[in-house]
């Protein structure tokens, strides 16, 4: 590791930060996806990602973490001004951020990034609020979080788009979770359109290099219902197969190029930079893959994002940061040197006609794929959930979610039909209209079903004090929503209207209380159920495919 208090090549970056801005987040040309490539909107030149993952103290994965605090990388202007000049030394034109706080102001950092020609791809989840690989759902808590991030970042023209999930499917028995991520893609794209946000804002998915990667790529790009309302706009590939001085064949890069040559949307490395088997250790990555990524792979791949900026306990990281000091490691220099040599072929949008079409969807079968292509989980509509609960005669009077499991277990075990309205089985495509509501709202629904099935006896709405009877109310606009969902909860879910995320957003960034987070859906408690078979088979379907 080396340090420098004065680097000549930083002068331009520092000048742009402290002097007149060359451009702002209002004037920077947007990046748009056309077919298999990205292009600058102003001159039609092809855009290749030369990026770095930029998030402190964060380990992204497809599980709900118990540590729900994080540091928003775009909320501290002083950190951005400290780091951006160094980013320019490695030719950075895009950063990937894994969790931002939508309640914070990001204007200063986004302006600094724009003035240095740096774009942003942002993940929509945060620690504790992500689609869980093993207990997947797409619900009001997630929808509120996702739309809040979109609301927060939509005005910045240097935002390319969003990831609706990162490595949610990381094992062969987790492929059912893909259905809930694709529902998130659909609803996020629908929200962007409904709010009249910029139509070049894309929504994609970042996959791990797992055995089901090919099925995943086809599943997220296929269009079983016609149009592209449910398909991803770009595909991120987290790949660590090129280690040290590997090569095109050993790393399987050639196989990836061959597989994606007919893919209908841009593909790029959402993370790369293996640290295994590197001479000199993790901080000495030679980045010899750069010449290939920006060389003979450019007909298919649109560049990549190095993992990661900040050195951390996982031994990944290009720099060590201590207060206002930035100390690059040797692999920072290697990356800079390798990127300085590349000159990828530039295609002009005016001469490019997309010809690739959507692939066929993978089919459910064996132990390889467990998510039916259609239908997807229904749209999440927070208003429907609120309306339904207000219209019940028996509701839940407790916020103690640790006590919900036993009640779910008892009711669903007594009669499966009581729980059909909250079913979400990705393998059979069996979904209830209330499956996207919060755990408390779902429990209120099934408790009311049990109450009505017990001839409205007062004793059938108690559950050791968790439930109580109430006088049903129907607010304006609720009648049509409740009617669509049906008395058995097996009907349809109208798409929500109006702004959804901003008003309801809460912060769990550094310094905020973890208690502001909503809990995951009820079946996270499945290990305590004495009728686990009922819950697994009826509701989630996840347990049906295990190796």
Please, what is the angle between helix 213-221 and helix 253-260, to 10°?
Answer: 30
Q: Are 502 and 151 in contact (CB under 8 A)?
A: yes
Q: Residues 311-316: what's their mean pLDDT? A: 94
Q: Catalytic one among 111, 126, 215, 271?
A: 271
Q: Are 30 and 198 in contact (CB under 8 A)?
A: yes
In this structure, the strands spanning 467-469 and 394-396 are antiparallel
Q: Are 238 and 304 in contact (CB under 8 A)?
A: no
Lowest mean per-residue pLDDT among 137-141, 167-171, 231-235, 509-513: 509-513
pTM over 0.75: yes
CA distance 187 to 194: 10
Phi/psi at 54 (nearest 5 deg)?
-130, 90
What pLDDT sits at residue 540? 44
pLDDT for 250 beyond 70: yes
pLDDT for 346 beyond 60: yes
Taking the CA atoms of 12, 16, 22 and 25 in sequence, report the sign of the dihedral they define. positive
Going by C-beta distance under 8 Å and a sequence separation of 6 or more, which residues neighbour residue 293?
Answer: 253, 269, 272, 301, 303, 304
Residue-by-residue DSSP string for 251-282: TTHHHHHHHHTT-SS-EEEEEE---TT-TT-G
pLDDT for 17 beyond 50: no
**Mean pLDDT for the chain?**
88
pLDDT for 518 beyond 90: no
Tokens representing residue 250 in the block: 């050993």
Place of tokens 């196989």: 255
Q: Residues 254-281: what's their mean pLDDT? A: 97
What pLDDT sits at residue 294? 98
Lowest mean per-residue pLDDT among 13-22, 48-57, 98-107, 423-432: 13-22
| Residue 541 binned pLDDT confidence (cut-offs 50, 70, 90) | very low
pLDDT tens digits for range 448-468 = 999 999 999 999 999 999 999
What pLDDT sits at residue 16? 40
Nearest to 319 by CA among 53, 117, 116: 53
pLDDT for 181 beyond 80: yes
> Could you confirm whether 167 is annotated as catalytic?
yes
What pLDDT sits at residue 506? 54
Question: Of residues 144 and 508, which shows the higher confidence score?
Answer: 144
Tokens representing residue 543 in the block: 């347990």
pLDDT for 412 beyond 60: yes
What pLDDT sits at residue 40? 98
| Residue 228 binned pLDDT confidence (cut-offs 50, 70, 90) | confident
Burial of 487 (0-12, 13-18, 19+ CB in 10 A): exposed
CA distance 216 to 169: 8
Taking the CA atoms of 507, 509, 511 and 517 in sequence, report the sign of the dihedral they define. positive
First to last CA, the chain: 44
User: CA separation (Å) from 507 to 48, 89, 148, 501?
Assistant: 33, 33, 11, 12
Tokens representing residue 57 in the block: 């103290």
Strand partners, 369: 365
CA distance 495 to 476: 17
Phi/psi at 210 (nearest 5 deg)?
-115, 165
Q: Residues 357-366: what's their mean pLDDT? A: 92
Q: What share of the chain is helix, strand, coil (3-state, %, to 5)?
A: 35, 15, 50
Q: Catalytic one among 111, 126, 167, 308?
A: 167
Going by C-beta distance under 8 Å and a sequence separation of 6 or more, which residues neighbour residue 224?
Answer: 230, 361, 373, 374
pLDDT for 102 beyond 90: yes
Q: Write down the number of H helices and E strands in the chain.
A: 14, 16
Residue-by-residue DSSP string for 374-434: SSPPPPP-HHHHHHHHHT-SEEE----GGGHHHHHHHHHHH-GGGGGGG-EETTTTEE-TT
Question: Of residues 322 and 531, which shows the higher confidence score?
Answer: 322
| Residue 520 binned pLDDT confidence (cut-offs 50, 70, 90) | very low
Question: Of residues 154 and 225, which shows the higher confidence score?
Answer: 154
| Residue 368 binned pLDDT confidence (cut-offs 50, 70, 90) | confident
Burial of 264 (0-12, 13-18, 19+ CB in 10 A): buried
pLDDT exceeding 90 applies to what percent of the chain? Answer: 81
CA distance 217 to 9: 40
Tokens representing residue 254 in the block: 């050639």
Going by C-beta distance under 8 Å and a sequence separation of 6 or more, which residues neighbour residue 210?
Answer: 169, 170, 171, 172, 216
In this structure, the strands spanning 31-34 and 37-40 are antiparallel
CA distance 260 to 268: 10
What pLDDT sits at residue 61? 57
Q: Residues 217-223: what's their mean pLDDT? A: 96
Going by C-beta distance under 8 Å and a sequence separation of 6 or more, which residues neighbour residue 71?
Answer: 55, 56, 57, 58, 509, 510
What pLDDT sits at residue 128? 87
Tokens representing residue 180 in the block: 């809930």
| Residue 334 binned pLDDT confidence (cut-offs 50, 70, 90) | very high
What pLDDT sits at residue 501? 65
What pLDDT sits at residue 67? 57
Lowest mean per-residue pLDDT among 89-93, 393-397, 490-494, 505-509: 505-509
Tokens representing residue 384 in the block: 């429907």
């Amino acid at each position: 590791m080396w340090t420098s208090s004065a680097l000549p090549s930083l002068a331009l970056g520092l000048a742009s930060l402290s002097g007149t801005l060359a451009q702002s987040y209002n004037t920077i040309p947007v990046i748009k996806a056309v077919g298999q490539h990205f292009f600058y909107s102003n001159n039609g030149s092809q855009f290749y990602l030369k990026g770095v993952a930029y998030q402190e103290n964060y380990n992204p994965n497809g599980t709900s973490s118990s540590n729900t605090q994080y540091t928003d990388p775009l909320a501290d202007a002083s950190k951005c001004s400290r780091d951006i000049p160094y980013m320019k030394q490695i030719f950075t034109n895009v950063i990937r951020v894994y969790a931002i706080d939508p309640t914070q102001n990001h204007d200063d950092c986004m302006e600094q990034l724009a003035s240095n020609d740096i774009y942003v791809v942002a993940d929509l989840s945060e620690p504790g609020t992500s689609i869980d690989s093993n207990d997947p759902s797409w619900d009001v808590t997630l929808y509120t979080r996702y739309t809040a991030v979109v609301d927060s970042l939509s005005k910045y023209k240097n935002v390319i788009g969003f990831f609706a999930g990162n490595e949610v499917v990381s094992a062969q028995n987790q492929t059912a979770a893909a259905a809930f991520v694709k529902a998130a893609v659909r609803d996020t794209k629908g929200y962007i359109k409904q709010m009249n946000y910029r139509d070049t804002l894309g929504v994609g998915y970042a996959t791990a290099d797992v055995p089901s990667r090919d099925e995943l790529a086809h599943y997220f790009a296929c269009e079983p219902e016609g149009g592209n309302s449910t398909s991803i706009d770009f595909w991120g590939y987290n790949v660590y197969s090129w280690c040290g001085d590997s090569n095109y064949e050993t790393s399987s890069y050639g196989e990836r190029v061959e597989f994606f040559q007919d893919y209908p949307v841009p593909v790029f490395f959402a993370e790369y930079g293996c640290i295994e088997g590197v001479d000199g250790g993790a901080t000495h990555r030679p980045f010899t893959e750069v010449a290939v990524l920006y060389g003979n792979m450019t007909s298919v791949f649109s560049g990549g994002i190095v993992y990661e900026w900040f050195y951390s306990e996982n031994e990944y990281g290009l720099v060590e940061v201590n207060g206002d000091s930035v100390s690059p490691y040797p692999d920072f220099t290697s990356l800079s040197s390798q990127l300085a040599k590349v000159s990828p072929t530039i295609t002009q949008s005016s001469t490019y006609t997309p010809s690739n079409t959507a692939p066929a969807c993978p089919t459910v079968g064996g132990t390889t794929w467990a998510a039916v292509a259609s239908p997807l989980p229904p749209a999440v509509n927070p208003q429907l959930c609120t309306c339904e609960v207000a219209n019940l005669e028996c509701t839940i009077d407790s916020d103690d979610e640790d006590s919900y499991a036993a009640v779910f277990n008892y009711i669903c075990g007594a009669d499966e039909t009581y729980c059909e309205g909250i079913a979400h089985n990705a393998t059979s495509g069996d979904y209830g209209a209330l499956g996207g509501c919060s755990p408390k709202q779902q429990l209120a629904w099934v408790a009311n079903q049990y109450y009505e099935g017990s001839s409205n006896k007062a004793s059938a709405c108690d559950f050791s004090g968790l439930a109580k009877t109430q006088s049903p109310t129907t607010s304006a606009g609720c009648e049509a929503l409740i009617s669509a969902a049906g008395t058995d909860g097996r009907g349809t879910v109208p798409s929500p209207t109006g702004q959804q995320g901003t008003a309801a957003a809460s912060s769990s960034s550094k310094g905020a209380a973890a208690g502001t987070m909503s809990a995951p859906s009820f079946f996270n408690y499945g290990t305590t159920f004495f009728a686990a078979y009922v819950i697994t088979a009826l509701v989630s379907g996840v347990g049906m495919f295990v190796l």
